[in-house]
């Protein structure tokens, strides 16, 4: 009699730890360790040939900021605008799917997600082809003189921002959709009973309840968009380099690992600081739209 009870108690006590073990090990191995390594690397000095030595070399940080401040600004600029564009496009779409798509909801969601089963590099390359100066999008417009001959979309900030917004679109749409889906329809009715018009229902009931989804969507889109280095490479041109690409170049081409690491760290800390401010302003207890 005693033994099963004992086992049960042991199991009870261990359960939370066992449950957190896979996730914890994952975080430790694939997040904490790399971050620590990165921090150590960013304080090294030396060069690739002689090897890098740890020396509390904080000089990497001001140096990186000084040379590449413009590229940091680009990253915030394009990443930020892309996030806003994605939000403006995704919110109405998510709203419509959640409230008006009826039984075909899953079909529409699938339609949104379907393109994202293809590698995003391939999709970006496809945009490069579509947006080409005499490509299928611009050539007809130029032919009927809606656009002047020398207008281009590729190799401009517009292409980079659009590409980023497109790449991370589902990360914006899905959390917003999930939070809208959870809005209790009876609340909408109740608001109507209290003489709210459609606009007021949206502004005072639906929108506040969907904020957790928006919050999550902005994070999931904004962070990778700011750090991106592929989009700008394919769709950008002169003067559109973001810091992500600088980091890549410093790492691969100049093999200046400490500088690359410090640039990456500045980006991470900057994002973290903005994240905290953002959470203070708009944050909710339940980040994932619970």
Partner 1 sequence: MTRERDLPRYVEPSFLRGLTASRITRRDALKGAGALGLGTFLAACGVGGSTAPSRVNWVWDKATKTGQLDFANWPLYIDSTQDASGATTHPSLDQFTKDTGIKVNYSEPIQDDPTFFAKIAPELKLGQATGYDLMVITNGIQMTNLQLKHWLVELDPAKLPNFFQNAAPRLKDRSYDPGNRFTIPWQSGFTGIAYNPSLTGREITSFEDLFDPKFAGKVGMMDGNQDTGNLTLIGMGINPQKSTPKDWQKAADKLKKQRDDGIVRKYYDQTYIKALSAGDTWISMAWSGDIFQANLSAGNDDLKFVIPVEGGVIWTDNMCIPVGAAHPLDAITYMNYVYQPAIAAMLAESIDYVTPVPSAKDAIDKDVAQTTDPAAKQSLQATAGSPLVFPSQSEYAHSYYYRELTPSEAGQWNDIFGAVILT
Q: Which residue ranges make up the site for partner 1 (CB under 8 A)? A: 47-50, 70-71, 128-129, 132-135, 150, 152, 154-155, 233-234, 236-239, 241, 245-246, 249, 251-256
In whole angstroms, the minimum distance from the beta carbon of 58 to partner 1 comes to: 19
Show the tokens assigned to 266: 């500045």
CA distance 68 to 270: 14
Choose between 63 and 209: whose C-beta lies nearer to partner 1.
Answer: 63
User: Which residues, listed in sequence order, are joined to residue 50 by a DSSP beta bridge?
Assistant: none
Chain position carrying tokens 């329809």: 185
In whole angstroms, the minimum distance from the beta carbon of 129 to partner 1 comes to: 7
Choose between 13 and 253: whose C-beta lies nearer to partner 1.
Answer: 253
User: Nearest CA to 261 among 46, 37, 31?
Assistant: 37
In whole angstroms, the minimum distance from the beta carbon of 27 to partner 1 comes to: 23
Strands in 17-119 per DSSP E: 44-47, 51-54
Show the tokens assigned to 264: 């990456």
In whole angstroms, the minimum distance from the beta carbon of 238 to partner 1 comes to: 5
Question: Which residues, other chains included, contact 94 with Cβ-Cβ below 8 Å and sequence gap of 6+?
Answer: 173, 174, 176, 177, 180, 213
CA distance 139 to 147: 9
In whole angstroms, the minimum distance from the beta carbon of 270 to partner 1 comes to: 20
Show the tokens assigned to 170: 């589902």
Choose between 129 and 200: whose C-beta lies nearer to partner 1.
Answer: 129
């Amino acid at each position: 009699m005693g033994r099963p009870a004992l086992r049960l108690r042991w199991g009870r006590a261990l359960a939370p730890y066992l449950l957190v073990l896979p996730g914890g090990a994952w975080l430790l191995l694939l997040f904490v360790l790399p971050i620590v390594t990165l921090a150590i690397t960013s304080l090294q000095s030396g060069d690739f040939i002689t090897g890098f030595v740890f020396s509390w070399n904080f000089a990497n940080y001001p140096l990186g900021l000084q040379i590449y401040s413009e590229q940091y600004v680009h990253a915030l600029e394009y990443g930020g605008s892309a996030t806003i564009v994605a939000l403006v496009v995704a919110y109405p779409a998510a709203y419509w799917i959640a409230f008006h798509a009826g039984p075909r909801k899953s079909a529409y969601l699938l339609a949104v997600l379907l393109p994202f089963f293809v590698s995003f590099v391939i999709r970006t390359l496809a945009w490069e082809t579509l947006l080409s100066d005499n490509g299928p999008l611009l050539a007809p417009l130029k032919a009927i003189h809606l656009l002047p001959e020398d207008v281009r979309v590729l190799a401009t900030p517009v292409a980079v921002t659009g590409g980023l917004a497109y790449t991370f679109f589902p990360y914006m749409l899905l959390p917003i959709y999930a939070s809208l889906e959870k809005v209790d329809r009876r609340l909408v009715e109740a608001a109507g009973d209290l003489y709210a018009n459609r606009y007021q229902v949206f502004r005072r009931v639906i929108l506040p309840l969907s904020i957790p989804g928006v919050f999550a969507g902005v994070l999931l889109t904004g962070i990778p968009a700011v750090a991106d280095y592929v989009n700008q490479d394919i769709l950008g041109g002169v003067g559109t380099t973001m810091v992500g690409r600088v980091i890549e170049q410093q790492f691969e081409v100049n093999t200046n690992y400490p500088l690359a690491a410090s640039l990456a760290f500045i980006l991470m800390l900057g994002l973290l600081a903005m994240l905290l401010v953002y959470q203070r302003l708009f944050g909710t207890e339940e980040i994932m739209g619970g």
